Amino acid sequence: MDEPAAPRRVVIVGGGFAGLFAARALRRSPVTVTVVDRCAHHLFQPLLYQCAAGILSEGQIARPLRVVLRRHRNVRCVLAEATDVDVAARIVRARRPEGSELELPYDDLIVAVGMRQSYFGHDEFAAHAPGMKTLDDALEIRHRLYRAFEMAETARDPEEKRQWLTFALVGGGPTGVELAGQIREIARRTLEREFSTIDPGTARVLLFEGSDEVLGTFGASLAARAARTLRGLGVELHLGTRVTDVDARGLAVRDREGVTTRFDARTVLWTAGVEAPPLAAALARATGAAQDRAGRIAVEPDLTLRGHPEIRVVGDVMGLDRLPGLAEVAMQTGAYAGRALRHSAAGRTAPAKPFRYFDMGSAAYICRGRAVVRAGRLHLSGVPGWLTWLFIHVAFLTGFRSRLGAVLSWAVVFASGARRERAFTSPFAQARMPPPEAGG
């Protein structure tokens, strides 16, 4: 009597939107799924800046992968960082947190590793200008934001006080615009009347962008509206500039005329540019796949790699038709890859239809009651844009408790300006208790 065939082994590298939606699409398929990620949680990355600004808690934007996928009986979660792929042996090599190696065999592979922050060849900037890609990044930025006001309060030198009250952001995309607006709201509303020697409302927020407009992907009209809103909040826009140096006391930028100017700021935040993680380069070398300047891997219309139909690349790290690195692209490509494998596992031999992206638009929150939304020909700003932004983000938050908690937090901030998630760790270490003496 023949033994039943072992189920197909699917390895999904990455637990973000793309990986999560792929795993969900395989829930009832006759396959075993292994989701490997360097974090044990699924992160709602579009709201990282709200965690950094003290509006939302970590638990409202991040949920354990095991909880999110607990009803998927065929899914196993592995905490490790994928480092290489042996395409001949069909093995993903990964590193566990303590450093030991792990091998994950697969019949089908879905690569959904996303992108990481890029400093355009100046990785030394990272020590002084944290990016906004992970939960750790958001908590580090929260620490730097609120610490700056505390340091300004006790600074005796007026120049030092001014430096602590100056915040510089590099990058005029959605994250930079959203974070700039939040810092001004913190200074004007949240911290109002909380300090005795400084006026938080005098804090300067400088936003540097290499192009001629912020939110350039939203179109000229919405970009202009966003710029007017930011200037109305007091954000200083420096367009057409390139950062040439960053240190603990500020940054230097060069304008289009080649003039370099130094700006003193004790808090510099980096929200410009992304690049593929090392696994993308390793996979490209192993398969001969092409990569673009940012490291995205070129894929076929069905999201597979040429010559390797068992490997699919989805989400931000995928290079297809210049699709943007948006959460909605990740969701749709992940779900498409999962459905394609589900159909294949069910014995359907017809080739998969090419992936088609349904553009649901883009949205950026600027300040209380102000956001911009682009969805096809629909362009919204102001309060209508903010209400649309609110609906979109509530719809996509994972879990009922996350949605309810976020709505309540937003209501509190909108009504009073108060932010409850302002805690940050202190540099002062607690003295350890001495060990007990031996003997009686």
What single DSSP character describes residue 218? G
Residue 354: strand, helix, or coil? coil
Residue for token digits 């909108």?
Answer: 414
Assigned token pair, 73: 């009986």
CB-based contact 130:248 (threshold 8 Å):
no
Is residue 343 packed enough to be buried (19+ CB in 10 Å), middle (13-18) or exposed (0-12)?
A: middle
Beta bridge partners of 206: 168, 236
Assigned token pair, 81: 């960082």
The closest alpha carbon to 354, from 325, 381, 320, 331, belongs to 320
Chain centroid to CA 44: 8
Distance CA 10, CA 134 (A): 26
Distance CA 252, CA 260 (A): 7
Residue 39: strand, helix, or coil? coil
Respond yes or no: is residue 421 known to be catalytic: no
Burial state string for 121-150 with b = 16 or more CB within 10 A and e = fewer than 16: eeeebeebbbbbbbbebbbbbbbbbbbbbe
Residue for token digits 């597979």?
Answer: 304
Distance CA 196, CA 193 (A): 8
| Cβ neighbours for 136, distance < 8 A, ≥ 6 positions apart | none
Catalytic residue among 81, 98, 159, 178: 178
**Catalytic positions, written as ranges:** 178
